[in-house]
Amino acid sequence: MIASLGDIMADEELLIPTEDYLKSGIHIGTKFRTKYMENFVYKTRPDGLSVLNIKQIDIRINAAANLLSNYEPEDIVVVSRRENGWKPVRMFAKVTGSKCFAGRYPPGVMTNPQLKNFVEGKVMLLTDVGPDKNAVKDAMSIGIPIIALCDTNNKANNLDLVLPCNNKGKKSLGLVFWLLSKLYLEKRGLINKGQAFEYSAEQFTEE
């Protein structure tokens, strides 16, 4: 499968080499596929796992970075209830200056100004609409755009931008948030496009 996917994607203009995507397992989905994610699926393997289209992943990572780049860092709220996403979202927040919730997201933290930990934001980025449902509810309540990493088993209604990927694997999550951080800084003019990024994908990845 890796060889065939690599051959298909070899001549495409991608953000990073196809091999780097494949090594992270970013394209490996689940055995369940929702109607929302069908258009992002490349094929289903003999073992039943759906495989996501790398070109679509690449396009959506760039689109997510484009959307985020319209906002000041302090207006971005990034969320991950899933443990494999804690280090990636914390690093994204550190590198970009955004706000993050790694672990439990307190319900109402963005909708109730009376709360001591009340925060404001203008766009939300999250790792999984299932575990992060409280964050989705808050974002919908205040009407801010929602960008979500979605695997083949995710429901994608109520989202403004779906970023298809393996949103459970350590390497996949690390790579996605590393790319989003790098692209955000480039698109905001904070680093030059093509210049060496001072962080590696490994620094965004849970051990």
* Residue 2 predicted with pLDDT over 50: no
pTM reported for the whole predicted model: 0.92
Residue 194 pLDDT: 78
Q: Give 56-83 pLDDT, tens digit per residue.
A: 999 999 999 999 999 999 999 999 999 9
Residue 12 pLDDT: 64
Using CA atoms, how far apart are residues 114 and 152, in angstroms rounded to an integer?
Answer: 38
Residue 16 pLDDT: 96
List, edge to edge, every strand of the sheet that includes 146-150: 99-102, 76-80, 123-126, 146-150, 161-164
Residue 107 pLDDT: 87
Which among 197, 171, 191, 178 has a CA at the least distance from the CA of 90? 178
**In the chain, where the domains are located:** 2-189+199-204
Its CATH class, for the domain covering 2-189+199-204, is alpha beta
Q: Give 107-153 pLDDT, tens digit per residue.
A: 899 999 999 999 999 999 999 999 999 999 999 999 999 999 999 99
Angle formed at CA 200 by CA 76 and CA 103, multiple of 5 degrees: 45
Rg (CA), the chain: 16
Q: Give 36-63 pLDDT, tens digit per residue.
A: 999 999 999 999 999 999 999 999 999 9
